[in-house]
């Protein structure tokens, strides 16, 4: 038995080699690079210090954090409303709607940026139309600015939020609403006291995924504003591929900071989904667990694609 | 008889093309516990939901005392409800669950507290007040649900199969507990179940429902002793239901004009096959035991006599044992126990 | 009792959402067919010129071909490596499952830019100098699809209760290798095909790693599209729509397969 099992281990060898070579080694190399001293010897935290002393890089970090935060927040609010709505339809219509929204999530990255340029760019259809019609409310709008970026980011955050959030609405059982109503609660009182608290883990968990998604998003911003807008991901890209000055150590340090933020956000999601599983496990034991209600809680990375090319 | 407290008139409900409630009338007196008993899909739960306002009937009126509650939203009907699946709020503790209705009604903190303590004592869960529902057993959760619905002092308490999700032992002890509490509070209560034994033990009055109609109502004794239709006879117990022709064959005489007859399994006595001479007023028939099953304190025989299959119950006292499967026996039949049944839907 | 409870407000919200989500797509589609389109709601005149130009463009066809074969090679490699690995871990070393899961989720948490930084540092210069070649890209692609492949293969193994299947095959006298090939593989195949196609569509849309690792040397469809955006809007629209339709066809096959599999599982 032992002998045979040893043979089985051979099946793992290619996997281990590939992961070591293309995942762990690069990460190690990046970590090492970020603390590499001048001239390639010794250990220094100078690169990190430099980042935190540089108004330019701090600005990039701040921009990235802000844009991720706002686009996630808007994404979650819109996603929440839409997720609730979508659970009110019959499963057949619901699946069609989800399919459509999921389909659009393939339209991310470069093509998405491009579509928005067609719509709202300097010579975009809407831009020209609004000018023609004299709607000057939109005259101040600039797609290549912060508001424009938020707008485009929100576009790929909403379907993601919708997809991650809608199953948890099936965890809110109709009988809780009925019980609350009979006890004298109005619908908004029910949502405040029971509904939203029940959704909280899912909301924060999704927020984590959205945040990580926006922090790491590169293709959309790159295609939309090129190197002109100061975002962390864009900064890292230009430092490493070196359009101007090649500073791989500094790029590595920035990349480590970015990875720390996204990993933290994904860990937040993991904790939160554990919490909500505790809740749902409790439902299952209370009374008949109806299979249809417990919509599949597939792991997010199974069902969901991130911003394409992010 | 005093004027009824809860009065349903002509409640009608359709789901698509199927009639779920067919002009149901029901009156309930104050402090009474009425059970709606019937197979699943008979409309009993829908009727309960109509009273609560969770399902809107297509027609009919619901009067609670002097108020027509049929027009009010659920939260203003002053009706409490306990669900089969407990429906406790999982994010709130036992105490907060019970407090919920009082809070919604804007009761002040002191009042809430004293009322909650009272109810926790009533359902004997004082030591669990800070637990979350998922930390309790099913029976405890259902007691919390009961306390929660009683906290706001509803005028009517609706229990929708409250014991069906529990296991047999707890079901029995909780049903006596519910009955005790109901008696103590003189709470007007409607209890929905599909379990006839449960209905017989807890009710003041039982309404048997079938296909959206109340087919018979009365006290548990009445219903058990005098089922009016074949449906009730079959549903209330293991009544033998015989056609007129079968009954005639069994008793050896023509037996009146009803279409079918019911015969209680414990009204037939099994005698040794040799017990030939009968008492004057009784009829003795020959039969063969087909199968025997021991159900605790009674033994249930399936006997064939004159081509009629009968269920016969005998006390499991060790004396009345009448042999193995396939053995010949004599049956002592009492024609006064034969109940004429009305036609279905008459 | 299941009926649509969706009131008008829900319908309106969904309509709004769909319009919002489909608008950029529709605009791109129309732009790809438009000859003249300025200051009107719909294009003034139509043409197939842009699609024609696109298919005459050798660089487009080349980029398409490059994308296809790079993705195919990477997915095939991933399949060849992941099938035995996930099988061994799930069936023989369940203790290591958590560890493997951790490794496999990592690409999901680490953004593409960061991965690119690491890869460039590790493989430009030094003993293994493969920066700018297809090798480094295929390696990177392998890591990108790790989560999808792992999850797909593992779920399939669990749904068909691979451990029990294998034991009964062995009790019937089959060797392990034979049991794997004759019993496990045919049963998990549909699920594996789904994750393969999903991985393929993910890679097809990959931009950041491609652009940063090999952007100057190898043009995939995404990189090509990026280059063309600046030149002609209409042509770029035609490319974007063609790309999108391709992905759409792929996802449709994916969904049909998934439905079919669920249907089989329910029987």
Q: For residues C75, C78, C79 and C83, what is the CA-based torsion angle, rounded to 10 degrees?
A: -160
Cβ separation of C18 and A19 shorter than 8 Å? Answer: no
The CA–CA distances, whole Å, from C98 to A301, B96, C36 equal 16, 38, 58
**Block residue for tokens 């004396």:** B319
Supply the DSSP symbol for A228.
G
Give tens-digit pLDDT for A105-149: 777 788 888 888 888 887 778 877 777 777 766 667 777 888 888
Q: Tell me, what's the pLDDT at B168?
A: 87
Residue of C258, C199, C28, C102 whose CA lies nearest to A305: C199
pLDDT level of residue B1 (50, 70, 90 thresholds): very low
Nearest to B219 by CA among B201, B192, B194: B201
Contact A179/B85, CB-based, under 8 Å? no
B15 vs A294: which has the higher pLDDT: B15
Smallest Cα distance from A296 to chain B, Å: 21
Using an 8 Å Cβ cutoff, are B331 and B322 in contact? no
Q: What is the mean pLDDT of residues C227-232?
A: 78
Write the DSSP symbol of residue B123. Answer: T
Q: Which range, of A84-93, B240-249, B265-274, C19-28, averages the lowest pLDDT? A: B265-274
**Cα dist. C143→A33, A210, B37, C130, C149 in Å?**
21, 21, 62, 16, 10
User: What's the rounded mean pLDDT across residues A153-167?
Assistant: 90
**Residue B133: its chain A contacts at CB < 8 A?**
282, 286
pLDDT of residue A3: 54
Find the largest Cα–Cα distance for chain A: 81
Residue C163: predicted pLDDT: 83
- B339: closest CA among B265, B241, B262, B281? B262
* DSSP letters for A290-306: PTTTS-----HHHH---
Q: CA B266: distance to chain centroid?
A: 21
Q: Which of A15, A70, B81 is nearest to C153 (CA)?
A: A15
Sequence-separated (6 or more) residues with CB below 8 Å from residue B134: A278, A279, A281, A282, A285, A286, B90
Q: Which residue of C has its CA nearest to A304?
A: C148
The pLDDT, as a whole number, for residue B3 is 63
CA distance C207 to chain A (A): 4
pLDDT tens digits, one per residue of B86-130: 999 999 999 999 999 999 998 899 999 999 999 999 999 999 999
Q: Would you say B122 and B153 are in contact if contact means Cβ atoms under 8 Å apart?
A: no
Contact call for C209 and A309, based on CB within 8 A: yes
Q: What percent of chain A has pLDDT over 70?
A: 83
- More confidently predicted of B326 and C65: C65
Opening angle at CA B41, ends B39 and B44, nearest 5? 75
- Tokens 């970090």 belong to residue: A61
**How confident is the model over B195-254, as pLDDT tens digits?**
988 999 999 999 999 999 999 999 999 888 888 888 888 888 778 888 888 888 888 777
Predicted confidence band of residue A302 (pLDDT cuts 50, 70, 90): very low
Least confident range from A262-276, A292-306, B57-71, B119-133: namely A292-306
How far apart are the C-alpha atoms of B246 and C210, rounded to whole Å? 87
- pLDDT band at C266, cuts 50/70/90? very low
Among all residues of chain A, which has the CA nearest to that of B163? Answer: A287
- Contact at 8 Å (CB) between C32 and C234? yes
Say which range, A42-56, B125-139, B165-179, has the weakest mean pLDDT: A42-56
Q: Which chains touch C (3 or more CB pairs under 8 A)?
A: A
CB contact under 8 A, A301 and C151: yes
Contact A193 B85 (CB under 8 A): no
Q: Residue A73 and residue A79: Cα distance in Å, rounded?
A: 10
pLDDT 10s digits, C237-258 = 888 888 888 888 887 887 787 7
pLDDT at A257 over 90: yes
User: Is the four-CA dihedral C69, C74, C79, C84 of positive or negative sign?
Assistant: positive
Interface size between A and C, measured as CB pairs under 8 A: 271
Q: Which of A198-202, A292-296, B294-298, C190-194 comes out lowest in average pLDDT?
A: A292-296
ipTM: 0.84
CA B103 distance to own-chain centroid: 34
CB contact under 8 A, A287 and B79: no
Rounded Cα distance between A119 and C9, Å, is: 27
Spell out which residues of chain A touch residue C14, defining contact as CB-CB under 8 Å: 82, 85-86, 89, 97
C-alpha separations of B102 from B64, B98, C108, C221 in Å: 21, 8, 47, 64
Which residues, other chains included, contact C186 with Cβ-Cβ below 8 Å and sequence gap of 6+?
A: none
**Cα nearest neighbour of B164 on chain A:** A287
Residue with tokens 């393929």: C200
Q: d(Cα C62, Cα C68) in Å, to the nearest integer?
A: 10
Across all residues in chain A, what is the average pLDDT? 81
Cα separations (Å) of A126 from A119, A131, B181, B218, C240?
Answer: 6, 8, 70, 75, 20
Identify the H or E element spanning B77.
Answer: none
Q: Model confidence over C38-80: pLDDT tens digits?
A: 767 777 777 888 888 888 888 888 999 999 999 999 999 999 9
The SS3 call for residue B33 is strand
Q: How confident is the model at residue B184 (pLDDT cuts 50, 70, 90)?
A: very high
Cβ-nearest to A182 among B52, B85, B165: B52
DSSP annotation string for A92-129: HHHHHHHHHHHHHTTS-SHHHHHHHHHHHSTT-HHHHH
From A242, which residue of chain C is nearest by alpha-carbon distance? Answer: C212
- Listed in sequence order, the DSSP H helices in chain C are 8-33, 49-56, 58-92, 97-109, 112-123, 134-144, 146-159, 162-171, 176-179, 185-204, 208-214, 221-229, 233-266
Q: What is the pLDDT of residues B59-87, one digit of tens each?
A: 999 999 888 998 899 999 999 999 998 99
Nearest to A258 among C37, C111, C148 (CB): C111
Least confident of B57-61, C19-23, C35-39, C182-186: C35-39
**pLDDT score of C120 more than 70:** yes
pLDDT at position C2 is 38
Residues of A in Cβ contact (< 8 Å) with C114 = 30, 216, 236, 255-256, 258-259, 262
Q: Count Cβ atoms below 10 Å from residue C154 Cβ, excluding itself.
A: 24
Residue in B227, B239, B267, B258 with CA at minimum distance from that of residue B37: B227
pLDDT over 70 at A23, yes or no: yes
Q: Are B89 and B132 in contact (CB under 8 A)?
A: no
**Residue whose token pair is 């099994």:** B270
B334 or B51, which is more confident: B51
Quote the CA–CA distance of B109 and C169 in Å, as a whole number. 68
Q: Are B134 and A282 in contact (CB under 8 A)?
A: yes
Query: Which residues, listed in sequence order, are joined to residue B286 by a DSSP beta bridge?
Result: B330
The first and second tokens of residue A297, run together, are 């809680």
What is chain B's mean pLDDT, rounded? 87
In angstroms, rounded to a whole number, what is the distance separating the alpha carbons of residues B162 and A12?
Answer: 54
Confidence at C149, pLDDT banded by 50, 70, 90: very high
Tokens of B120: 């926790």
Q: CA torsion A110→A111→A115→A120, rounded to 10°?
A: 0
Beta strands B33-37 and B205-210 are parallel
**DSSP 3-state helix, strand, coil percentages of chain A (rounded to 5)?**
75, 0, 20
CA distances from C26 to A82, A100, C240 (A): 21, 13, 11
CA–CA dist C244, A106 (Å, integer): 7
Place A307 in a pLDDT band, splitting at 50, 70 and 90: low
Whole-number pLDDT of residue A113: 87
What mean pLDDT do residues C157-183 have? 82
Note whether A181 contacts B91, CB cutoff 8 Å: no
Alpha helices in chain B (DSSP H): 44-52, 94-104, 109-122, 138-151, 168-185, 196-202, 220-225, 230-236, 244-251
Mean pLDDT of C86-106: 88
pTM for the structure as a whole: 0.81
Which of B31 and A279 is assigned the larger pLDDT?
Answer: B31
Strand partners, B24: B11
Which other chains touch chain B, taking contact as 3+ CB pairs less than 8 Å apart?
Answer: A
pLDDT for A297 equals 37
């Amino acid at each position: 038995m032992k002998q045979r099992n040893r043979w089985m281990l051979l099946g793992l060898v290619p996997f281990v080699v590939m992961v070591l070579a293309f995942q762990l080694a690069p990460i190690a190399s990046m970590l090492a690079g970020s603390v590499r001293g001048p001239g390639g010897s010794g250990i220094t935290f100078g690169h990190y210090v430099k980042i935190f002393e540089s108004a330019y890089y701090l600005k990039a970090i701040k921009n990235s954090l802000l844009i991720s935060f706002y686009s996630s927040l808007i994404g979650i609010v819109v996603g929440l409303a839409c997720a609730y709505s979508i659970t009110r339809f019959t499963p057949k219509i619901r699946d069609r709607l989800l399919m459509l929204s999921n389909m659009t999530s393939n339209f991310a990255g470069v093509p998405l940026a491009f579509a928005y340029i067609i719509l709202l760019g300097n010579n975009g259809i809407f831009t020209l139309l609004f000018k023609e019609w004299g709607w000057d409310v939109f005259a101040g709008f600039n797609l290549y600015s912060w508001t424009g970026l938020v707008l485009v980011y929100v576009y790929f955050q909403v379907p993601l939020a919708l997809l991650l959030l809608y199953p948890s609405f099936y965890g809110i059982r109709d009988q809780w609403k009925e019980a609350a109503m009979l006890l004298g609660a109005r619908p908004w009182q029910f949502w405040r006291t029971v509904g939203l608290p029940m959704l909280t883990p899912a909301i924060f968990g999704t927020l984590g995924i959205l945040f990580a998604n926006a922090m790491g998003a590169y293709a959309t911003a790159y295609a939309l504003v090129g190197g002109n807008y100061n975002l962390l991901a864009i900064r890292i890209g230009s430092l490493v591929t070196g359009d101007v000055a090649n500073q791989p150590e500094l790029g590595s340090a920035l990349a480590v900071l970015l990875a720390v933020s996204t990993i933290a956000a994904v860990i937040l999601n993991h904790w939160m989904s554990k919490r909500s599983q505790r809740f749902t496990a409790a439902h299952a034991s209370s009374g008949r667990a109806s299979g249809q209600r417990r919509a599949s809680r597939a792991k997010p990375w199974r069902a969901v694609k991130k911003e394409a090319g992010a | 008889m005093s004027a009824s407290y809860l009065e349903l008139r002509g409640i009608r409900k359709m789901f698509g093309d199927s009639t779920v409630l067919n002009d149901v009338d029901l009156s309930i007196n104050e402090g009474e516990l009425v059970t709606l008993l019937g197979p699943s899909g008979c409309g009993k739960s829908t009727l309960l939901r109509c009273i609560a306002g969770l399902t809107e009937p297509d027609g009919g009126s619901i009067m609670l005392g002097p108020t027509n509650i049929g027009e009010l939203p659920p939260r203003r009907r002053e009706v409490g409800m306990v669900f089969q699946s407990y429906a406790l709020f999982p994010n709130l503790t036992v105490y907060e669950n019970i407090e919920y209705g009082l809070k919604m009604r804007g009761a002040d903190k002191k009042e809430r507290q004293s009322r909650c303590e009272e109810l926790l004592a009533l359902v004997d869960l004082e030591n669990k007040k800070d637990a979350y529902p998922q930390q309790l057993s099913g029976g405890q959760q259902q007691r919390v649900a009961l306390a929660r619905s009683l906290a706001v002092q509803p005028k009517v308490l609706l229990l929708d199969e409250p014991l069906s999700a529990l296991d047999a032992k707890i079901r029995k002890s909780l049903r006596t507990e519910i009955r005790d509490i109901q008696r103590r509070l003189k709470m007007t209560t409607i209890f929905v179940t599909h379990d006839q034994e449960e209905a017989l033990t807890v009710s003041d009055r039982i309404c048997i429902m079938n296909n959206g109609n109340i087919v018979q109502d009365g006290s548990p004794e009445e219903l058990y002793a005098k089922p009016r239709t074949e449906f009730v006879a079959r549903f209330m117990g293991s009544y033998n239901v015989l056609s007129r022709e079968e009954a005639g064959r069994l008793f050896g005489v023509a037996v009146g004009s009803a279409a079918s007859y019911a015969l209680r399994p414990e009204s037939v006595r099994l005698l040794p096959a040799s017990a030939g001479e009968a008492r004057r007023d009784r009829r003795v028939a020959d039969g063969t035991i087909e199968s025997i099953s021991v159900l605790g304190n009674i033994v249930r025989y399936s006997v064939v006599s004159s081509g009629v299959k009968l269920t016969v119950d005998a006390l499991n006292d060790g004396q009345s044992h009448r042999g193995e499967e396939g053995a010949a026996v004599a049956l002592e039949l009492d024609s006064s126990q034969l109940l004429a049944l009305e036609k279905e839907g008459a | 009792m299941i009926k649509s409870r969706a009131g008008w407000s829900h319908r309106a919200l969904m309509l709004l959402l769909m319009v919002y989500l489909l608008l950029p797509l529709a605009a791109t589609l129309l732009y790809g067919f438009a000859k003249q389109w300025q200051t009107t709601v719909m294009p003034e005149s139509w043409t197939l010129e842009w699609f024609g130009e696109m298919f005459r463009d050798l660089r487009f066809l080349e980029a398409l071909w490059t994308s296809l074969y790079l993705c195919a090679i990477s997915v095939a490699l991933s399949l060849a490596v992941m099938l035995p690995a996930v099988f061994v871990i799930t069936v023989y070393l369940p203790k290591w499952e958590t560890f493997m899961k951790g490794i496999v989720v990592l690409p999901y948490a680490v953004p593409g830019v960061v991965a690119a930084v690491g890869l460039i540092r590790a493989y430009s210069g030094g003993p293994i100098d493969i920066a700018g070649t297809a090798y480094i890209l295929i390696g990177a692609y392998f890591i990108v699809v790790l989560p999808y492949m792992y999850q797909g293969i593992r779920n399939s193994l669990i749904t068909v209760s691979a451990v029990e299947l294998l034991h009964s095959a062995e009790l019937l006298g089959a060797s392990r290798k034979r049991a794997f090939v004759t019993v496990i593989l045919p049963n998990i195949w549909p699920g594996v095909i789904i994750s393969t196609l999903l991985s393929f569509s993910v890679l097809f849309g990959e931009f950041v790693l491609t652009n940063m690792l090999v952007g100057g040397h190898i043009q995939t469809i995404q990189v090509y599209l990026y280059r063309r955006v600046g030149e002609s809007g209409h042509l770029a629209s035609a490319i974007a729509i063609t790309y999108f339709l391709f992905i759409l066809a792929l996802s449709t096959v994916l969904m049909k397969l998934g439905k079919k599999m669920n249907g089989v599982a329910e029987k």
